[in-house]
Every structure is written in C-alpha cells, then in structure tokens.
Amino acid sequence: MKKTSIILCILLFLALSIYPVYSYNSPLAEGKKLPDIELTIPKKQEHQQYLGLTGEGTFKIPQIKAKVVIIQIFSMYCPHCQREAPTINEFYRKIETSKNLKGKVKIIGIGAGNSDFEIDFFRKKYEVLFPLFPDGDFSIHKKTGEVRTPYFIGLRIMDNGKATIFYSQLGGPKNAQQFLNKLIQRSGL
Amino acid sequence: MRKNIFIITIFFAVLGLLSGSAFGLSETFKNNIYNPGKLKPIDSVLKVKVGEKAPDFTLPSISGEKISLHQLKGKKNVVISFVPAAWTPVCSDQWPGYNIAKTIFDENDAVLLGITVDNIPTLFAWTKQMGKLWFHVLSDFWPHGKVADMFGVLRSDGVSERALFVIDKEGILQYAHVGDINKRPDLKDLAKELEKLKNR
C-alpha cells in the first residue's frame, strides 16, 4: 500500500510538472507576453482618440494608451460573436460610463479572416463603437495559436510599457457587468 | 498488476484534466466540426457560362418545400451558394455570415439558395446550430450532386466546390465564382456583383 502511494505521488508530481508545459505552449497563456501583433492605426478620428494614437502606419497593442486592453478575437461569420455583439457593446458602454475605468480600460476587436468590408459590415450591423481591425489573411490569428471565436484576451500594460496577458479564454460573456467585474479583479487594476 | 493499472489510469486522468483546462472551454458547434485538412483548391470544370441561361433545377429544402429556379424567374435575382459539406470548418462559417447580411440581398432584390450534396437530415441538424436562417437550404443529395454537376462544380470525391452564382430575373447567369475550397470568399465581391444588377 505504501509503495502504491509513493508511486501515485510521483506520477501526480509528473502530471503537475507537465501541466505548465502544456499551458506555456499556448501563445496566449496567462502570464506570457502578447505575441508581436501589428495593427493599422484606424482612420476614424474617434478611434484614434480612444486608443491614444495619431497619424498613419501601424502600432503594437501595448502602445494603446490604457492600463488594461481587452482584445476580442471574433468573426462576422461566427454565430456566437453575432449573438454576443450586444453584450460586448454593453460591456464597452459600462467602461466608458465608469469614472474609475474610462481611459484606463480599452477594448478592441480583431476579425479573424475578415476583410475591411466584412469588419465594416459587422460594425454597422451591430453598431459597434470600439475599434475593430481586419485580419483577412489570418496572419494575426496564426500568431495567436488559431484560437476559436469568440476568444478574449486581457492585457495588463504597466507604466514601463511591459504588457502581460492576465486573461485568456475561449467564449464570450452572457452578462456584461459580471464579465467586467471578473476582468477588473483579475487585472489587479 | 491491478494496482499498477489503477495508478496509470489515475495518472492519465489527471493529466487529461489538466491539459484540457489549459485551452479553456470550447463551443458545441466547433467541437462537432470535422476538419478534412487542406484540399485541392479546385477539382472540377465549370459547365456554365456568364451571359447564358442558367440550368433549371428543382431541389428539396430543409423547410419541406421543393424549390425550382424557374419559380423565381421574373420575380427575384438569385444567388446560389454551393458549399462543399456540412460539419466542415469553412462551410460552417460561410452561411452564418450571409444570415446577418440579408440587407445586402434585399437591397438588390435577390434571394439566396444555399446548396450542398448532404441529405436533408444532416443539413437540418447542421444549419440548426447557425440559428434561424432566412434563406432556403437545399439538398443536392439524390441523384447525388446532380445540380452541382449541371453547373460543373461537382468534385471528384462527390462534394461540391465552394462556388457562388448570381442569376438575374431573366434567368441569365451574371456571375460565376469557383474559389479555393479551403477559403471563404469575401462578402465584398458578392455585394459588388449584386450592386451591378441594381444598376443594370
């Protein structure tokens, strides 16, 4: 019996040792740096202002003027993303109307496999106010480990410019307030 | 010996639980998708020509009706979307996109007919995951792929190409697009073609 317990403990230890290797293999694992993603600075003035960016060209997500950035990987072709669009809009409005969160927490969407036209169609259809970015050739999607949609990433940006993933989860929220509470708590903001 | 089997079972059970959680939850629809891998982009030769009359057909819809192309003649422009197979990755996304783009079709007085070579029960179960669809989903199952073959989009393995056809109210084919089966066509191109019909 004693021998069995020892073997069991060794095997459990091995299992737990392998676990971080599994999670670490995901490019979006919590605690890791965000993969190097370059996005085009939006043309819309209100989106530039929201992100704290100016001019033309590209930017990297940690350059967004915020302490926390929520990244939604979605697709206009994904039924779940379509159904959840009003909840995500509510999530955005809750941030923007909160004295404590406005300016500190920002949200962006990246449309996996979606062209400019498709992103624009989704924006108009669901009256999305936060910036959406196309990823027509799936290049960003590949960098994020080809996650399913909708996928949410929470990024904490420190004062020294370092950014760490604190939330990485498949599936969107059913309740905007609960989702916001959970993210704020996890972010340590 | 039994003890060893028990220990090994516990080990793999724990390992399985831990590794699964590393990837988070997955959605029901996506868990049921079969990935056939990368396929030969195009595997058929088109038999229809833009500017000529589109071949007529009658197919059963998942609604229980039989839909014929000639019924729509003089009434609506028709978009036919052939997708290769139910429960496969790209196809499962394409029609939900068209489902939220009804305005693009309405504005151009067009209807959409979605066709695959799957049978009605399969199409019923598959499209139910997409929510309520506003367009007819037709089964070209029997005689197998007859309509796909009439248009020249039946592949050698019995599924259809990923193809889009736009037929005007006179029944004339105005647009034919057979794309890479592995890629979803941009909605922009279809919207542009439908816009052309309005301006004719």
Size of interface A-B (CB pairs under 8 A): 89
Residue A26 is given by DSSP the state S
> How many C-beta atoms lie closer than 10 Å to residue B12's C-beta?
12
pLDDT of residue B111: 97
Most confident of A8-12, A24-28, B110-114: B110-114
Q: What percent of chain A has pLDDT over 90?
A: 72
CA distance A181 to chain B (A): 19
> Which of B5, B159, B9, B148 lies closest to B80 in space, CA to CA?
B148
Which of A8, A9, A77, A174 should be substituted to probe chain B, the one whose Cβ sees the most B Cβ atoms within 10 Å? A77
Comparing A23 with A100, the larger pLDDT belongs to A100
Comparing B200 with B60, the larger pLDDT belongs to B60
pLDDT digits (tens, 9 = 90+) for B123-163: 999 999 898 999 999 999 999 999 999 999 999 999 999 99
Domains and CATH numbers, chain A: 2-187 (3.40.30.10)
Phi, psi for residue A80 in degrees, rounded to 5:
-65, -40
Q: Walk across the sheet containing B162-167 and list its strands.
A: B136-139, B110-116, B77-82, B162-167, B173-179
Q: Which helix (H) or strand (E) holds B102?
A: helix B102-107
For range B68-73, the mean pLDDT: 97
CB-CB: which of A136, A168, A171 is closest to B27? A171
> For residue B13, which residues of chain A lie inside 8 Å, CB to CB?
none
CB contact under 8 A, A22 and B22: yes
CA distance B20 to chain A (A): 9
| pLDDT band at residue B13 under the 50/70/90 scheme | very low
pLDDT of residue B36: 83
d(CA B161, CA B179): 8
CB-CB: which of A19, A113, A171 is closest to B184? A113
Looking at beta carbons, which pairs linking B70-76 to residues 24 or more positions away fall under 8 Å?
B70/B171, B72/B111, B73/B169, B73/B170, B73/B171, B74/B169, B74/B170, B75/B169, B76/B109, B76/B110, B76/B111, B76/B169
pLDDT of residue B16: 38
Which amino acid, residue A142?
A: K
Q: Is the minimum CB–CB distance between B26 and chain A shorter than 8 Å?
A: yes
Burial A18-27, CB ≥16 within 10 A → b, else e: ebeebbeebb
Strand-pairing partners, residue B81, are B114, B164
pLDDT of residue B46: 97
> Which of A33, A140, A108, A121 lies closest to A77 in space, CA to CA?
A121
Domains and CATH numbers, chain B: 31-198 (3.40.30.10)
For range B176-197, the mean pLDDT: 95
Between residues 110 and 139 of chain B, which touch chain A (CB distance below 8 Å)?
A: 129-131
For range B41-45, the mean pLDDT: 96
pLDDT digits (tens, 9 = 90+) for B78-108: 999 999 999 887 767 899 999 999 999 999 9
pLDDT of residue A139: 93
pLDDT of residue A25: 60
pLDDT of residue A8: 52
In sequence order, the 6+-apart residues with CB closer than 8 A to the CB of B111 are B72, B76, B77, B78, B79, B105, B135, B136
d(CA B124, CA B114): 12
**Residue B172 confidence (pLDDT) above 90:** yes
pLDDT of residue B136: 98
For range A109-118, the mean pLDDT: 96
* A83, two tokens: 């159904």
For range A158-176, the mean pLDDT: 91
Q: Is the minimum CB–CB distance between B10 and chain A shorter than 8 Å?
A: yes
Between residues 57 and 116 of chain B, which touch chain A (CB distance below 8 Å)?
A: 93-94, 96-97, 99-101
In sequence order, the 6+-apart residues with CB closer than 8 A to the CB of B126 are B86, B87, B92, B118
CB contact under 8 A, A170 and B27: yes
Strand-pairing partners, residue B165, are B80, B176
| pLDDT band at residue A29 under the 50/70/90 scheme | confident
> Which of A147, A14, A21 lies closest to A78 in space, CA to CA?
A147
> For residue B195, which residues of chain A lie inside 8 Å, CB to CB?
none
* A70, two tokens: 């929520």
Q: Is the minimum CB–CB distance between B51 and chain A shorter than 8 Å?
A: no
Strand-pairing partners, residue B176, are B165
> Which of A164, A166, A158 lies closest to A186 in space, CA to CA?
A166
Which amino acid, residue A46?
A: E
Q: What is the mean pLDDT of chain A?
A: 88
pLDDT of residue B38: 87
Comparing A94 with A25, the larger pLDDT belongs to A94
Q: Is the minimum CB–CB distance between A144 and chain B shorter than 8 Å?
A: no
d(CA A144, CA A29): 10
> For residue A168, which residues of chain B lie inside 8 Å, CB to CB?
24
> For residue B3, which residues of chain A lie inside 8 Å, CB to CB?
4
For range B48-70, the mean pLDDT: 98
Q: Is the minimum CB–CB distance between A21 and chain B shorter than 8 Å?
A: no
CA-CA distances (angstroms) from residue B165 to A178, B20, B150, B171? Answer: 45, 43, 13, 11
Chain A: residue whose CA lies nearest to B3: A4
